[in-house]
Amino acid sequence: MSWQAKEIMPSVEEAAKHHFNEIWYYRVARFHNLEERKEYLDSVRKEHPNFYHTYIDGPKKVSAEWYKQMQTKYPWNLEVEVDGGEWNGEYYMEFANTERWTAIGKERVEEEKKAMKAMPTYIKIWLIDKETGNRWGIRLHPFKTEEQEQNDYKIIYDDARLNGLYKIFQQAFPGRTRAHNISTPSINQFATLKLKFDDHFELTEAYLQKDGQKFVLPDAEIHQRYEINNTAYY
């Protein structure tokens, strides 16, 4: 089950089509069994009262509003500047609404500039060293990460890092909500998420730029930089 603002668990009938995955079918069937769900909650309340009254029926109860905030899409595009190097516009990203885009190759760069995107949680780009012609992969996050989550960051409910990033995006796009996802503004209203690198491919600046204003991402950091062949996208 994916954490979304509304449930997206498939029907039992839909799950039955995937006969190769009996464990998943069982999970779907249990999800739709309201009596079983009630029994489960009752058992949690009895066996783990502190947990229940804190996270299920108390001050840390999960709020759909937080997930709605993470689903909000914004009109922004990525831009990379690098001293002594080149970026041809290709990238891979993961987003706060749990979307994960396949690597955007040269043939799709212009098309994707018209697409709105949720806040990024992970960005991967490829740079060319002008002096040597060597190609380098760069992996980074717009916030600080622990070593164990750098290659597979998971969306965590009420993550303070995501909350901080949300505040920055809201400063650039005041009042924007998930309801605005249905319409895309003209390209001249798009903001730019700008990443700047020095000639050693170290990240020197990261910020959103909109209407001449900079909204700095103070905790953006590279976690991996590696040489790669000219046709690879890992």
* In the chain, where the domains are located: 12-61, 68-228
Find, among 158, 168, 151, 89, the residue nearest to 125 by Cα.
89
pLDDT for 23: 64
Q: Give residue 47's identity as a one-letter amino acid code.
A: E
Query: Taking a C-beta distance cutoff of 8 angstroms, is the pair 118, 4 a contact?
Result: no
Instruction: Please determine, for residue 5, whether its predicted confidence score (pLDDT) is greater than 90.
Output: no
pLDDT for 25: 62
Going by the DSSP 8-state scheme, the letter that residue 74 receives in this structure is B
Structure tokens belonging to residue 88: 């041809």
Model confidence pLDDT, tens digit, residues 34-84: 787 788 888 888 898 887 777 777 777 788 899 999 999 999 999 999 999
User: Helix, strand, or coil here: 89?
Assistant: strand
Distance of CA 87 to the CA centre of its chain: 22
User: Helix, strand, or coil here: 17?
Assistant: coil
Query: Taking a C-beta distance cutoff of 8 angstroms, is the pair 95, 117 a contact?
Result: yes
For 200-214, what is the mean pLDDT? 96
Query: Taking a C-beta distance cutoff of 8 angstroms, is the pair 136, 126 a contact?
Result: yes
Of the candidate ranges 47-61, 138-152, 153-167, the one whose mean pLDDT is the lowest: 47-61
